[in-house]
Amino acid sequence: MNSIKSDLRPTIIGHIIIKDADTKEILVDKKNAINFETMSLALALSLGGRPNGNIMQMVFGNGASSVSAVGTITYLPPNVTGLDAELYNQTYALFVDDLSPLDTDPTDDFIRVNHTTGTTYSDVVVTALLDYGQPAGQDAFDDATDVTGTFIFDEIGLKTYDTISTTGYLLSHVIFHPVQKSLNRRIEVIYTLRIIMS
């Protein structure tokens, strides 16, 4: 029996938009990096119907950049190597799988899969809303002069999640200029992964 050789090369491109949910001001608009080892494992686990293969969490951190006294921002490289990759300093996590009981607000935090018939790409769009009261313990106003606060985010990633071990794989990592989440603003994050077969 002859085997069929496929020359398809899958590509995954990530893109993130962070905006003020009320004013619609775009705060961040950029591409992200993919951890191809964890992504390949997650795709295989998902296709095999096994746990810890689907996107469950959007994770936020504040350890990927530093700001000098004159305002110059220095960024660390995205952490996308190895099964044990993590954010540099994760300070918050939000469940975004609206099919899971762990997602406490599936109206605002959800995943959609978009595909146009006849094309060779599909999008996984993960939307999360950090409402006024999220996360607990944030500053009242977005006027911090020190960018090292717990909820002044400069990195976000998408993770799988295993309910037994309560761990997951970091699939992607985006690093950006610090954005403060405070009680006086709602922030919406739209995180898209485009899977292309070409």
Q: Is 162 within the bounds of a domain?
A: yes
Categorize the per-residue pLDDT at 1 as very low, low, confident or very high, splitting at 50, 70 and 90: very low
Structural Rg of the chain based on CA atoms: 18
Q: What is the model's pTM?
A: 0.92
181 in the Ramachandran plot: left (φ > 0), alpha (ψ -120 to 50) or beta? beta
Residue range 170-179, pLDDT digits in tens: 999 999 999 9
Looking at the DSSP assignment, which residues form a beta bridge with residue 195?
Answer: 12, 122
Q: Is 53 within the bounds of a domain?
A: yes
Peptide bond into 135 cis (omega under 30): yes
Residue range 58-94, pLDDT digits in tens: 999 999 999 888 889 999 999 999 999 999 999 999 9
Determine contact, residues 59/79, Cβ cutoff 8 Å.
no
Q: Is 62 within the bounds of a domain?
A: yes
- pLDDT confidence of residue 144: 83
Rounded Cα gap, residues 40 and 172, in angstroms: 12
Q: Is 5 within the bounds of a domain?
A: no
Categorize the per-residue pLDDT at 3 as very low, low, confident or very high, splitting at 50, 70 and 90: low
Q: Is 72 within the bounds of a domain?
A: yes
Domain extent at residue 27: 10-197
Q: Is 4 within the bounds of a domain?
A: no
Q: Is 1 within the bounds of a domain?
A: no
Does the pLDDT value for residue 5 go beyond 60? no
| Domain count for the chain | 1
- pLDDT confidence of residue 71: 84
Q: Is 29 within the bounds of a domain?
A: yes
